[in-house]
Structure 1
Amino acid sequence: MTDISKITELRKLLLGMERAMGLEDLSAVERDIYYAASELASRNHGVRTTGLLSHDLMENVSRPTFFRALKSLVNKGYLSQASTSRRGVYMVNAPQV
């Protein structure tokens, strides 16, 4: 099996998992923000915008694109602003399957 065919199999597996979790309608940037938020929130009680911006998955995402996608995730219910904190802290919500 070649390296590209291994990557292809991994990508197909990931796509199937994203479909099962209801993430297939998100843009690539929205998915990456959701993945980063999920990873960071598992360590803390919520995730700060600054933490998301410095995550490896956000390396090639411009700030305007990041904030548009973040707003979209909040509007879609994947993330919500933490009610007990100041601005810039988000809670990760389970996807609606």
Structure 2
Amino acid sequence: MLEEMEKDFGMHELSRNERDIVLAFCACIKENKSGDNMCSTDVVRANPIVKEISQPTFHRTLKQLIKRGLIERCEGFPMGLYRLSDRASGQL
């Protein structure tokens, strides 16, 4: 059942680290009290889902997610703020 859901949402094409980071972003945004969909990499990295991913691997994987169009930098805000793209939000 989980595999079918991953296929429906396009998650089956992602590596395990990519999936974990996207899920950590989703959790971060859901917990965000301000109502915006931005999240800092520090908060995402503190999530238990990605806590075991090394910092270099996290940032390499984040770069891949940006290239895939699933995560976007928040322009006009301090470095380290990202959001799920509209494409990713529509898939999840």
TM-score (norm 1): 0.80
**What is the Cα deviation at residue 84 of structure 1?**
3.0
Q: Distance in 2 between matches of 1:74 and 1:41?
A: 17
Q: Letter of the 2:9 partner, please give it.
A: M
Alignment-derived partner of residue 47 in structure 1: 39
- Is 1:83 equivalent to 2:75 in the alignment? yes
Give 1 or 2 for the bigger CA radius of gyration: 1
State the SS of the aligned residue for 1:91.
strand
Unaligned runs of 5+ in 2: none
| Deviation digits for residues 51-83 of structure 1 (CA, Å, limit 9, x no counterpart) | 111110112211111111011001111100011
Residue 23 of structure 2: SS of its match in structure 1? helix
Matches within 5 A, 1:1-97: 13-44=1-32, 45=36, 46-93=38-85, 94-95=87-88
Identity of aligned residues (%): 28
Aligned residue pairs, count: 85
> Deviation digits for residues 5-54 of structure 1, max 9, x if unmatched?
xxxxxxxx221111100111110000000001011112332110001111
Q: Provide structure 1 residue ranges, at least 5 long, that are not aligned to the other structure.
A: 1-12
Mapped to 2, the partners of 1:18 and 1:86 lie a distance apart of 32
Amino acid paired to 1:27: S
Separation in 1, partners of 2:67, 2:28: 20
- The TM-score normalised by the length of structure 2 is 0.83
Q: Which residue of 2 aligns with 1:5?
A: none
Runs of 4+ deviating beyond 6 Å: none
